Amino acid sequence: MKKTILLFSVCCLALTSFSAETNATIGFPNGKQPWKRAGNEQQFADYRQELKKLMELPAEQLRAHPAAADFPGAVPAEAARIERSISVDTWIPRWHSTGLYAAPGELITVTIPSNAVAAKLRVRIGCHKDMLWAEKIPSWKRVQEITRSFAITETVTRAANAFGGPVYIEVPADCTLGEVTVKIQHAIAAPIFELGKTDLKTWREQLRNSPAPWAELVGKKLAISLPSANVRQLDDPDEVVKFWDRVVAAEDELSGQTNRISPERFVLDRQISAGYMHSGYPIMAWLDQSGKVANLDSLKQGNWGFFHELGHNHQRPDWTPAGTGEVTCNIFSMYCFETVCQLPRNGHNAISARNRETKLKVFYADTSKSWTSEPFLALIFYEQLVEGFGWEPFRKVFAEFRDLPKGERPKTDAEKLDQWLVRFSKASGKNLTPFFAAWRIPVSASAVSAVKDLPAWLPEPDYPKRYQASN
């Protein structure tokens, strides 16, 4: 414990301590020697205050933080500082990759035309947006907060980040400015491949060797921010981003999303704020996925986790009753395995044929067990619907929910289950009441009545008899 306390006590984040020399001491959480929270709460609180102050300093006052070389990474000393003008389509909101990188603590200059000054654009430095302050995080492998975003309110904006990072132009929703040319000066070239824009020959001979430590692979429906080390040998970035475009297109299509206005984004990080991956913008994953996310051979084998997180981004509360937050997103994983990868839909070991049988036997042996007591148990309920009816009723029901006026949306879990019973029964042409009963899922008399004239359906004639203990 004493050793850990010492680590905290040498962590002086005052600007005066920022120098190349302090890099030799371990004055910050890092990959080799993570910091622990337990027993160091007060030191951590002081450190946090110092870091907060640093992250609010004006760009002109910043210098490189010694942790930057550890993560997100060092910039080669000889790397040229360049100027580049980029066309940004502001009809597309969220982050626009620039293929440029701000060196730690160094000012970059962003220049926009005067007609764009009121457009609420921002310049972001750093993709590792997750902050690692939450109480539940017991230890750290990187500094807890390492990105900055600056409002662009004049034609010339200066920006910097003590940790450095990829440069993005952030566009707000509902921006109607159209194409804007943004000039960025004093940045470093980063590997970038943009589908439809980048020539493969240029990528292979030049772009993938650009000096910045983080790279961008940009498709039409998804962009990836990953370590440059993972793209230096990448010959076919076009096939990688096309694969991801197909995945997003598949999930859009299943969920009835016809109006996608901006791509999704994956960011790889040494440590993230929750779980092994999490959804949102961007979708975050740990660095151990960086070798897979841009590896076509690996992707073709399916990536349940990424499909799952994208599934969260397509998930809607209307058809996600309590206890199924980690279930209905997996409908999308199954769909991508089957339709994009041409693989069996049960691509996760938890629902292999054998595990599925075990789960059903346990569920039917213990009548006190809820169908949502385990996410992969509940997923079998949906998988049986896929087996019985294919994907079309899912498409139809998801689209129906999407188009519902606010007043008709389910407000309670009971209403969500009722509506799923009625809508899916009508979409499949079968009365699913016996199926819901077999799964011990409660529905109202009025929902049962609404589908009573349809032929009753179960996955097999005497379901669930063969899973029950007496048989």
How near is the Cβ of 124 to Zn ion at its closest, in Å?
A: 26
Taking CB under 5 A as the criterion, which residues in 63-92 touch Zn ion? Answer: none
Cβ proximity to Zn ion: between 250 and 284 the closer is 284
The residue among 173, 33, 164 whose CA lies nearest residue 95 is 173
How near is the Cβ of 312 to Zn ion at its closest, in Å?
A: 5
Cβ proximity to Zn ion: between 152 and 283 the closer is 283
Cβ proximity to Zn ion: between 67 and 267 the closer is 267
Distance of alpha carbon 36 from alpha carbon 322, whole angstroms: 34
Q: Catalogue the long-range contacts made by 35-42 (C-beta closer than 8 Å, 24 or more residues apart).
A: 35/4, 35/7, 35/8, 35/139, 35/140, 36/4, 36/138, 36/139, 37/137, 37/138, 37/139, 38/138, 39/1, 39/4, 39/5, 40/4, 40/5, 40/8
How near is the Cβ of 325 to Zn ion at its closest, in Å?
A: 7
How near is the Cβ of 326 to Zn ion at its closest, in Å?
A: 5
Cβ proximity to Zn ion: between 43 and 303 the closer is 303
Facing residues of 84 across strands? 184
How near is the Cβ of 329 to Zn ion at its closest, in Å?
A: 6
Phi first, then psi, for residue 225 (nearest 5°) are -110, 120
Residues in the chain: 471
Distance of alpha carbon 301 from alpha carbon 288, whole angstroms: 17
**Total residues at the site for Zn ion (CB under 5 A)?**
1
Cβ proximity to Zn ion: between 13 and 284 the closer is 284
Kindly write out the interface string for residues 312-351 of this chain, putting x where it contacts Zn ion by CB under 5 A and - elsewhere. --------------x-------------------------
Cβ proximity to Zn ion: between 324 and 346 the closer is 324
Cβ proximity to Zn ion: between 68 and 285 the closer is 285
How near is the Cβ of 308 to Zn ion at its closest, in Å?
A: 6
Closest residue to Zn ion in the complex (CB): 326
Greatest Cα-to-Cα distance within the chain, rounded to the nearest angstrom: 79
Distance of alpha carbon 160 from alpha carbon 458, whole angstroms: 61
Cβ proximity to Zn ion: between 59 and 277 the closer is 277
How near is the Cβ of 277 to Zn ion at its closest, in Å?
A: 8
How near is the Cβ of 93 to Zn ion at its closest, in Å?
A: 24
Distance of alpha carbon 171 from alpha carbon 248, whole angstroms: 21
Contact residues: Zn ion, CB under 5 A: 326
